[in-house]
Amino acid sequence: MIDQAQLDQLCINTIRTLSIDAIQKAQSGHPGTPMDAAPTIYCLWQRFLRYDPDAPNWPNRDRFVLSVGHASALLYSLLYLCGIKAMNSTDEQPGRLAVTLDDIKGFRQAGSRCTGHPEYGWTSGVETTTGPLGQGVATSVGMAIAQRWLAATYNRPGYDLFDHNVYALCGDGDMMEGVSSEAASLAGHLKLSNLCWIYDDNNITIEGSTNLTFTEDVAARFLGYGWNVTHVSDANDLEMLIRGYQIFHNTPDRPTLIIVKSHIGYGAPHKQDTREAHGEPLGSEEVRLAKQFYGWDPDAQFYVPDGVLEHFREQLGRRGATVRSAWENLFAAYRKQYPDLADQIDCMQRRDLPEGWDSALPTFPADEKGMATRDSSGKVLNAIAEKVPWLLGGAADLAPSTKTHLNFEFAGEFQAPGQESNYRGRNFHFGIREHGMCAIANGLSLSKLRPYASSFLIFTDYCRGALRLSAMMDLPVIYIWTHDSISMGEDGPTHQPIEQLASFRAMPGMIVLRPADANEVVEAWRVIMRVKDRPVSLVLTRQALVTLDRTTYAPASGVSRGAYVLADAPDNRPDVLLLATGSEVSLCIAAYEQLKSEGIKARVISMPSWELFESQGREYRDRVLPPGITARVAVEEASTFGWERYTGLDGTILGLHTFGLSAPMKVVAQHFGFDPTHVIAAAREQMARHGAKQ
């Protein structure tokens, strides 16, 4: 009869050989890390991870993040062997396995659940999309923060509803990427003792040995961050691995880094140039040698020995089912004692909104002096956050400037527990860590909280990787970007965004909202809060904008359709269309009034969101932008890229083709021609070109 040690080794080698075969069949992939890290992750999943294969979306499950996304074959092998059930909406057959053996055989092929890198929402058991190195570990910090906030907010004596841990497998590449350093620094500051990073230290990257580029003392760095650091000198030593995980569980006051020493292709003969084992299939001969070393039939492919599936599902499955069942009984009792809190948890898990969430939204009277849209947004944000307990977030050290601090009495500051702060606070302080902030926001959203993250629009250049993953994962993260144009003035070209709006509009899945006044801000927030499956970028001004008189102009509710007719010709038959977003809408209104006084029929169209407008039916879009009216002027203090879809090639686009200028706001505007005079001149030129009456 096979003993425990032999069974463990058999299971580990099954993970390895399934991964090898998948990569070899696909002729694409990275076999090295699945081979060397198999014991590390087998030990975690079989001995420690609290995870029910029948309920992979159970709220209090432990999270496992494969930050080394190139090692995806490792995760897919585990998901199959552990019998993880499919729970995602994309699955046509609820209850099927998340990953079947056929899926593994179709690794990296169209339609397979085993994509080249793990994709959240496509394959159950994938907690977050990974691949861009550093993103997984940074996102795991958001998950750990979410657990701490949920526990502090909803746990009650005798009801520890949220006590799960977060694990992330990372490698040398993760350690080199800057986003991981940002996130690790903040995790140490926050003393997230529920967070464990497992560093597969194999000293190899695509270009060769890490001696080429990476010779720092990682342990010393993490000790400096305030982490606990422990070492496992041999990735094949299960007893040492168990000890490492136990140290994590017994460390109550800081996150843990387990440094596991391994070699690419660990546990089998490997190529002299180990880069090949890292970045490409082994090749048929090397596969045979590896299998022979493992005691496998070298000709068998995708072979799962008798007893392996049963062992995986007995260990992880039974433990997970027991813990989940106990949790459900606990939550049922909690619901009886704390029905309002239980309803909040249910609502949060469904990404629904509580009743009356918008009951305190302000309205803003017409005002020539007006206010900055960042200021009106701050008022709206606070009104909503008081009604939506799980709406929380902060800025990259800029909350006073972006107006994103929650200032009602019970908002609080999220910090490691101390005299005046605790994990229940809803104001997050990310520090000057824009990229880390956005990755952390992804982790918060994946935990079903509703996070917002904020900075100046120009600094989104530092956030790009995490923003792209928000969109790819359909996460309703709220991004609040202020200082949105050259009108910020004296700070000059380094701080004046030009191409950022165009780049967001080019990103699939991202909604961009650039409101024109305070009441458009209110309506933008109505849109934002109802979005469940896409990130939104709310783009706001530093300078004051006129609050338009809505008894004269159209109501701001048109924001929900992305674009609407704000002001029109008396007979609704304009000769020229003036299109704008944000602060430039008021320029078009001034031009419209002047043209109107001269008997020229113009229409002003506020276009806060191209994405929402494009989602409208053809009839509505043609009503706003009649195809027969070809005299068109678009105005935006940003790159002109993309406006041609609305102006046509013969339209005029008043925008920017250079970087900005350091000078007072009015001087900058005059320098680049953003004033009513230039808008009127462009309108006249368009009318002349297209034969309209003047």
User: Which residues are part of the catalytic machinery?
Assistant: 434
Q: Which residues contact 528 (CB under 8 A, 6 or more apart)?
A: 478, 513, 536, 538
On whether the CB atoms of residues 438 and 455 are closer than 8 A, the answer is no
Burial readout 417-434 (b: 16 or more C-beta within 10 A, e: otherwise):
eeeeebbbbbbbbbbebb
H/E element, 267: none
Report how far residue 579's alpha carbon sits from residue 635's, in angstroms, rounded to the nearest whole number.
Answer: 6
Spatial separation of the C-alpha atoms in residues 284 and 529, rounded to whole Å? 53
Q: Bridge-partner residues for 85, per DSSP? A: 97
Q: What angle do CA 154, 158, 159 make, to 5 degrees?
A: 35
Interhelix angle 373-385/518-530, nearest 10 degrees = 40
Whether residue 481 contacts residue 540, with contact meaning beta carbons closer than 8 Å, is answered with: yes
User: Do the beta carbons of residue 25 and residue 37 sit within 8 Å?
Assistant: no
Q: Give the whole-angstrom CA distance, residue 282 versus residue 290.
A: 9
Residue tagged 């339209």 (tokens): 651
d(CA 229, CA 627): 65
> What is the number of H-type helices and E-type strands within the chain?
26, 20
| Token code pair at residue 593 | 């009034």
- Phi-psi category of residue 521: left, alpha or beta, with phi > 0 → left and psi -120 to 50 → alpha: alpha
* Burial class, 361, CB count within 10 angstroms (exposed 0-12 / middle 13-18 / buried 19+): middle
Report d(CA 675, CA 173) in Å as an integer. 49
Distance CA 240, CA 231 (A): 9
User: DSSP assignment, residue 593?
Assistant: H
Query: Percent helix, strand, coil in the chain (nearest 5)?
Result: 45, 15, 40
Which long-range contacts (C-beta less than 8 Å, at least 24 apart) are formed by 658-664?
658/498, 659/493, 659/496, 659/498, 660/486, 660/492, 660/493, 660/496, 660/498, 661/486, 661/492, 661/493, 661/496, 662/489, 662/490, 662/491, 662/492, 662/493, 663/489, 663/490, 663/492, 664/489, 664/490
For residue 172, what is the enclosing H or E element? Answer: helix 172-176
Rounded alpha-carbon distances, angstroms, from residue 155 to 100, 148, 323, 649: 37, 10, 17, 60
Cα 194 to Cα 330: distance, rounded to the nearest angstrom: 21
Tokens of 541: 């001004």
Nearest residue to 71 (alpha-carbon basis) of 260, 245, 264: 264
Show Cβ contacts of residue 364 under 8 Å, excluding neighbours closer than 6 positions.
Answer: 371, 376, 517, 518, 519, 522, 547
